[in-house]
Amino acid sequence: MMNSTHYTYFTLAAYFDIGLLKYLFFVIVMIFYALTVAANVLLIVVICVNRSLHEPMSLFMCSLFISELYGCTMLFPMIMVQLLRDVHTIATSLCFLQIYSVHSYSTIEYLTLTVMSYDRYLAICHPLQYHTLMTNNRIATLIAVPWFYGFLIVLITISVSSSLQLCGNIIHKVYCDNYSVVKLACSNTSAFNIYGLFISFATIGIPCLIFIYTYMRILKTRHKAVSTCTPHLASLINFSFGCCFEVITSRFNINHVPHVLRIFISLYFLIIQPLFNPLMYGLNISHIRSCCRKLLFAQM
Q: Where are the domains of the chain?
A: 9-296
Look at residue 59 in the predicted model and tell me its pLDDT. Answer: 92
Per-range mean pLDDT, top range of 51-55, 166-170, 250-254, 291-295: 166-170
- Report, as an integer, the average pLDDT of 178-185: 87
CA distance 288 to 95: 38
Most confident of 74-83, 191-200, 221-230, 237-246: 74-83
Confidence at 38, pLDDT banded by 50, 70, 90: very high
So what's the pLDDT on residue 5? Answer: 60
pLDDT of residue 162: 85
What is the rounded average pLDDT of the residues 113-140? 91
Higher pLDDT, 114 or 298: 114
Better pLDDT: 64 or 196: 64
How confident is the model at residue 166, as a pLDDT? 86
Q: Which of 30-39, 96-105, 178-187, 224-233 has the lowest mean pLDDT?
A: 224-233
Q: What is the pLDDT of residues 40-74, one digit of tens each?
A: 998 998 888 887 778 898 899 999 999 999 999 98
pTM of the complete model: 0.90
What sign does the CA torsion over 290, 293, 298, 300 have?
A: negative
pLDDT greater than 50 at residue 1: no
- pLDDT at residue 2 greater than cutoff 60: no
Q: CATH says 9-296 is which class?
A: mainly alpha
| pLDDT value of residue 200 | 79
Determine the straight-line distance between the first and last CA of the chain, rounded to whole angstroms.
70
Specify the pLDDT at position 208. 87
Of residues 232 and 192, which shows the higher confidence score?
232
pLDDT of residue 186: 84
Across the chain, mean pLDDT equals 86
Q: Which pLDDT score is estimated for 298?
A: 61
For residue 251, CA distances in Å to 82, 223, 244, 246 come to 24, 38, 11, 9
Query: What does residue 10 show for φ and ψ, rounded to 5 degrees?
Result: -120, 150
